[in-house]
Structure 1
Amino acid sequence: MSRSKLAALVAPLTAVALALSACGSGDSGGGGGVQAGDQATQGSWDINEVDVSKLKEGGELKWPLDSLPDNWNYNQLDGTLQDGDYIISAILPKLFKADKAGKVVINKDYLESAELTSTGPQVVTYKINPKAKWSDGTPFTWEDFDAQFKALNGTNTEFSVSGTTGYEDVEKVEKGASDQDVKVTFKRNFGEWTNLFTPLYPKSLNATPAEFNTGWQTAPKATAGPFKIGTIDPTAKLVTVVRDDAWWGDKPKLDKITYRVVERAALADSMTSGAIDWYTIGSSVDLYQRGKAIQGAVIRQGPGKAYSHLTFNGAPTSILSDPKLRIAVMKGLDPATYAKGILGPIVSDPKPLGNHFFLQGTGNYADNSAPVKADKEAAKTELDGLGWKLDGEFRKKDGKQLDIRLVSTAANPISEQISKLTQAQLKEIGINVVIDAQPSSVFFKDFVNTGNFDMVGFQWSQTPWPISSSKGIYYLDEKNVNQNYGRIGSEEINKKLDEANQELDEAKRVALTQDADKLIWAEGHHLPLYQTPAARTVRATLANFGSFGVADPDYTKIGFTG
């Protein structure tokens, strides 16, 4: 089961759904800035690609984070964050990964094969690499797959999962000819089946709801990657991972990676001082300009996978529970204003994003945003029709003022800019936006995940499975919030998402997803604003690292040239 990763709306807006806007390629910070997402072509990267034999042996990569993981179980509701995934990818099994062209390929370190062996019913068979072992010495077996399926299929709601997509379509997981042969039989087709069992966890994590929900809250209890946990220091806000001598794959070039929480405003200074070796620029003009001036650093650019947005709260207790009111509010907000106001200084001709599933620069992109097209006069008329009449500076209904609480991340320049642009635009149509800035350490856990907002801004970072990984965001399930933090949806949307996910033919699956996207826009679910640039300021001597575009990084190949 996979789902989209999310990140706080911070200066560079880190990947958590479509790495916010693609960038033009280039090895240095000079030149004409960053290209807009729809001007870029998916399938390129800028990582200073160097043969590993030419890299320095050892060394430490110093990696900035916005926050430490709230849970090391990525499948648990609090664990699905980009920062956590950065670390998990170095220490836990990803059975499939995306190459530089965005194609999903099998990870031979963990699987010898994975094949669709039947379509009626759908059956997928996996052959586990016999060398694959957990850090306690236990071999990978079919039971790891079975336990993960049972925890994530939604039948036991005591498991606080971030999504059930794909697993809910599985009928059973069985042992094949040996413990390393896995047979997965589906009761309903699931098109993006390579999205399942990655990351894979040991069966012990999924044994009980208590272990699943809190057992890995403070630290992972097992690993199986090129690196293992060295230290976790919540007080100093840092995590180190070191080479795992028991790793059976290619030996990493780095000795260790140090992940350290660094405030966005301090990123450039931290890199100048040597405290970190790279940072994401995203939509920050300041970080872009300062990155060009850092001695020994370059700006690496490639297509991105994330976008910033505003999520609306449609729960019955929220002032925005009425979809007609949400649509009117959306019409009072012009995504082009955000794109130009924030990206204008660093992106040539930035465009707003008009699709919840497919990114600009991809072959499947289509602008389906017509139902909420920016139109302030139409917004005013619709608000009047809903009984929200202008009374002085703001609108009121039955004596209640139309106040909308926008939760954002504190000490975050981009979040602040988006909040102020939202406040200013909605004031023009008589809506009072109350900005509630919260520390990044509690932003998701106490506000986003719990639905404690009227509107909230952060980022979605898309995976190589744009349809199935996004289902949990838009599917309305009374038993499980998944990642539908605004509790918005309909039976019609659910049905269309089910049809798309069950379709094995890719062209038909894309067409069904476009239909679902149009319904989601009409429901006023959330408002995509823009893809953020995927440019990163990187130490010039750092190789096989930078802007990965649509690819997954290979942690064994990252290293230094000198």
Structure 2
Amino acid sequence: MSHDGPGPRAVARSVVFLTAGALAVPLLAGCASEDPAGKPLAGPDIVPAARSLLVDGGTLRWAVDSVPETLNTFQADADATTSRVAQAVLPSMYRLDETGRPEINPDYLESAKVVETEPKQVVLYKLNQQAVWSDGREIGAADFAAQWRALSGKDSAYWTARNAGYDRIQRIERGANDLEVKVTFARPYADWRSLFSPLYPKEVMGTPDSFNDSARRKLKITAGPFHVRKLDRKDDEITLARNPRWWGRPAKLEKIVLRAVPRDERAEALADGKVDLAEIDSGTVRRIRLADRADGRKDKAQSKSERRQQALRGFEVRSSLEPAFTQLALNGSEGPLADERVRRAVARALDREEIAKAVLKPLGLPAEPVGSHLALAGQAAYADNSGALGDQDTAEARALLADAGWVRGGPVKEEKAEKAAGAEKEKAKGERKKGESEQAKGEKEKGKSEKDDGTYVVGEDDKAPTEADREKKRHDLQQGSAPGAYAPKGTAAPAEAVAKAGATPAGAAAGPLAKDGKPLTLRFVLPSGPGSETLRTVAERIRRMLDRVGIRTELTKVKDESYFKDHIASGEYDLALYSWPASAYPATDARPIYAKPVPAADGSLNVEQNYTRVGTDQVDQLFEQAISTLNDSARRNLIRKADSRIWAAAGSIPLYQRPQLTAARKNLANTGAFGFRTPVYEDMGFLKKGARPAPGATASKK
């Protein structure tokens, strides 16, 4: 769990840690001269140093959240530590640079490119001739083929968590020699660079039994700068040691010990000398910075807590922004938020810039709101598409609520009646879990999207609304209707409601809203465990912002272990805060998060990872087009267009890129807060006594 609160398991390579009128989309910046992707808001903070400045040897003790249940990253219970181990001990054909873009890993690949597109897409990999497994066997086509068969989805005996991309492969064969691997796709696959990273040996992937069991507790055969020496569940740690068969630059460290330390115990673990490197929360940041400003004099009369505080002088805080963002999720499956106008009103009530500043500015990090659901600043697919929804505007939020029939001063049922209604609602939810109601709702949504795709915004497709459009919308609202603006044509806004909404001065509290005798109250679910303080602070700001437009919120704190399983994944919430990683391959990895839910065979609703239950056919079609488009520029434009539609549907509102805060011993180099960059494990190490890395230095290849 991050200091910023829990996030669902990533759909990216690292398993970490979720319409009828025309749609207004900002002009796609791919057509402009300036690259809308921009630069990352913050780069890596790892104290880069030439390898010649590092000690040869030493053990790095690195705090992690847990010792993983499996070392197979393709299984459902893999976690962030599973990925960290895989990065150190297994081949990856590509790794990410500091902008979050994939680059060839020369330790394994000499080249990889699409050599044919007709009649089939063919990718030719040329492997590094020195690349061998730890048993001495060359890495080759047999390993690629075994991984494809295991992850293709054709054999249910393999207990796989994902098969995206592998299911598009038709065959894999040896090329002109043993160092060439030829991959032929049955259907075009734009994100082919995401495949075979990590690559497991055929001994793991070759049979269902070996895939399901052999790599859970140990990896006998590896091919990285380190290998797994020991997984100790009693002491909650994994020991990685130098791989004697590694052909690349030798690892500077002799060992890396990944030790499970709870987030709220890491300050003490650092001070007691139990770990050298740890992701930390803002409270520990303050303690380390306070210790660094102290005079450092020792006193025999010091208490244990004072000695621990002084011991923190040996550490420094390295900070960046994580390749992940925190969002406000709006459950659109039922209740007031099933109406897209209410979801849009919630979004327009939020001052996202204020929220980002509240979280990031005190940490000295760039405080800019995230403008995309599918990428972050610096990544190739990024563009700020939030204009498809609009900036914070209290008057607009109130008008949207009025258009949806929520008015101030309306009759509200007595508390007793409300409790009875609540009991009925819970009963209905229980029945729906059996599948009957969910199936009916899925069929209803399907019919609706076939007709209109569920998004109603003024403007033509691929054209941003003009000021004249906005003025006309305001005028129409004042006249009592706004055809096509926020509802299907012919749906009028109640004149009385609009008048009441407009009667409140800007910035004043709107008062509670009601409809059909029920107040507009949303259940805001939050985790309660240590490390979630930031989320609770953000939730309180959101509560105040919503209160200004008349939306009441009930903040409900739940245990961390039940937050996703019992609330987010099961749909037992109206509003929630959680994070998603930003993948280098959004067409593949983000699709399950925003795919339109569909009825399953048993009558339940299949939401994949779309925990907001908000999706449209248009978004699904754009993802499918993007994944099959091999032209990079065209694919980026399709992804940005999909993102604009996701914004307009207002199922989730990106808020800020998550801070990445790491405590590191001051003499540690080439490690810390990595940002987008994939860690280079062989270059990590301790500085020689007196060594001082030059500003802007990078690790040499010697």
Shorter-chain TM range is 0.7 to 0.9
Structure 1 residue matching 2:647: 3-state secondary structure: helix
Preserved CA contact (<8 Å) 2:379 2:584: no
Measure the CA separation in 1 of the matches of 2:123 and 2:283: 49
2:616 aligned with 1:519, yes or no? Answer: no
Q: Which amino acid aligns with 2:314?
A: G
- Corresponding residue for 2:359? 342
2:581 aligned with 1:461, yes or no? Answer: yes
- Corresponding residue for 1:299? 317
**CA shift in 2, pair 1:473/1:75, >3 Å:** farther
TM-score, L = length of structure 2: 0.66
* Aligned pair partner of 2:610 in 484, 487, 504: 484
Structure 2 residue matching 1:239: 3-state secondary structure: strand
**CA shift in 2, pair 1:123/1:106, >3 Å:** same
**CA shift in 2, pair 1:100/1:361, >3 Å:** closer
* Aligned pair partner of 1:437 in 558, 566, 576: 558
2:592 aligned with 1:472, yes or no? Answer: yes
Measure the CA separation in 2 of the matches of 1:64 and 1:297: 14
Deviation at 1:492, TM superposition (A): 1.0
Structure 2 residue matching 1:300: 3-state secondary structure: strand
Measure the CA separation in 2 of the matches of 1:332 and 1:424: 10
Question: For 1:437-464, what per-residue CA distance to the aligned partner results, in whole angstroms no more than 9, with x for missing partners?
Answer: 3336x65566656666554433333344
2:271 aligned with 1:289, yes or no? Answer: no
Preserved CA contact (<8 Å) 2:350 2:542: yes
Deviates more, 1:366-375 or 1:201-210: 201-210
Structure 2 residue matching 1:344: 3-state secondary structure: helix
- Corresponding residue for 1:73? 72
- Corresponding residue for 1:539? 665
Question: For 1:70-99, what per-residue CA distance to the aligned partner results, in whole angstroms no more than 9, with x for missing partners?
Answer: 5433233442x4343222211222111134
Q: Which amino acid aligns with 2:114?
A: L
Measure the CA separation in 1 of the matches of 2:528 and 2:65: 11
**CA shift in 2, pair 1:176/1:134, >3 Å:** same
Please show how residues 100-499 of structure 1 align to structure 2 within 5 Å: 100=98, 104-120=102-118, 121-129=120-128, 131-135=130-134, 139-154=138-153, 162-177=161-176, 180-203=179-202, 205-206=204-205, 216-217=215-216, 220=219, 222-234=221-233, 236-280=235-279, 285-292=282-289, 293=292, 294-302=312-320, 304-314=322-332, 316=333, 320-347=337-364, 350-361=367-378, 365-370=382-387, 371=389, 373-383=391-401, 385-386=403-404, 391=412, 402-408=521-527, 410-412=529-531, 413-428=533-548, 429-439=550-560, 454-476=574-596, 478=598, 483-499=609-625
Structure 2 residue matching 1:89: 3-state secondary structure: helix
Preserved CA contact (<8 Å) 2:70 2:216: yes
2:683 aligned with 1:557, yes or no? Answer: yes
Preserved CA contact (<8 Å) 1:126 1:181: yes
Structure 2 residue matching 1:329: 3-state secondary structure: helix
Structure 2 residue matching 1:331: 3-state secondary structure: helix
Structure 2 portions without partners, runs of 5+: 15-36, 293-311, 414-511, 601-605, 689-702
Deviates more, 1:128-137 or 1:165-174: 128-137
Preserved CA contact (<8 Å) 1:42 1:549: no
Measure the CA separation in 1 of the matches of 2:122 and 2:331: 39
**CA shift in 2, pair 1:506/1:258, >3 Å:** same
Deviates more, 1:477-486 or 1:301-310: 477-486
Structure 2 residue matching 1:190: 3-state secondary structure: coil
Measure the CA separation in 2 of the matches of 1:209 and 1:549: 36
Preserved CA contact (<8 Å) 2:320 2:365: no
Which of the two has greater strand per residue? 1
Preserved CA contact (<8 Å) 1:313 1:453: yes
Larger gyration radius, structure 1 or structure 2: 2
**CA shift in 2, pair 1:454/1:274, >3 Å:** farther
Deviation at 1:424, TM superposition (A): 4.2
**CA shift in 2, pair 1:213/1:323, >3 Å:** farther
Q: Which amino acid aligns with 1:548?
A: F
Preserved CA contact (<8 Å) 1:165 1:471: no
Measure the CA separation in 2 of the matches of 1:41 and 1:179: 39
Aligned length: 533
Structure 1 residue matching 2:618: 3-state secondary structure: helix
Deviation at 1:339, TM superposition (A): 1.0
Deviation at 1:530, TM superposition (A): 0.6
**CA shift in 2, pair 1:258/1:502, >3 Å:** same
Q: Which amino acid aligns with 1:142?
A: A
Deviates more, 1:247-256 or 1:371-380: 371-380
2:624 aligned with 1:504, yes or no? Answer: no
Preserved CA contact (<8 Å) 1:331 1:373: yes
Which of the two has greater helix per residue? 2
* Aligned pair partner of 2:4 in 7, 10, 22: 10
2:63 aligned with 1:64, yes or no? Answer: yes
Deviation at 1:542, TM superposition (A): 0.5
Measure the CA separation in 1 of the matches of 2:77 and 2:341: 31
**CA shift in 2, pair 1:342/1:168, >3 Å:** same
Preserved CA contact (<8 Å) 1:545 1:558: yes
Preserved CA contact (<8 Å) 2:40 2:99: no
Q: Which amino acid aligns with 1:356?
A: H
**CA shift in 2, pair 1:307/1:536, >3 Å:** same
* Aligned pair partner of 1:89 in 76, 87, 90: 87
Measure the CA separation in 2 of the matches of 1:242 and 1:165: 32
Structure 2 residue matching 1:345: 3-state secondary structure: helix
**CA shift in 2, pair 1:9/1:404, >3 Å:** farther
Structure 1 residue matching 2:362: 3-state secondary structure: coil
Q: Over aligned residues, Cα RMSD in angstroms?
A: 3.9
**CA shift in 2, pair 1:323/1:258, >3 Å:** farther
Deviates more, 1:424-433 or 1:252-261: 424-433
TM-score, L = length of structure 1: 0.80
**CA shift in 2, pair 1:373/1:103, >3 Å:** closer
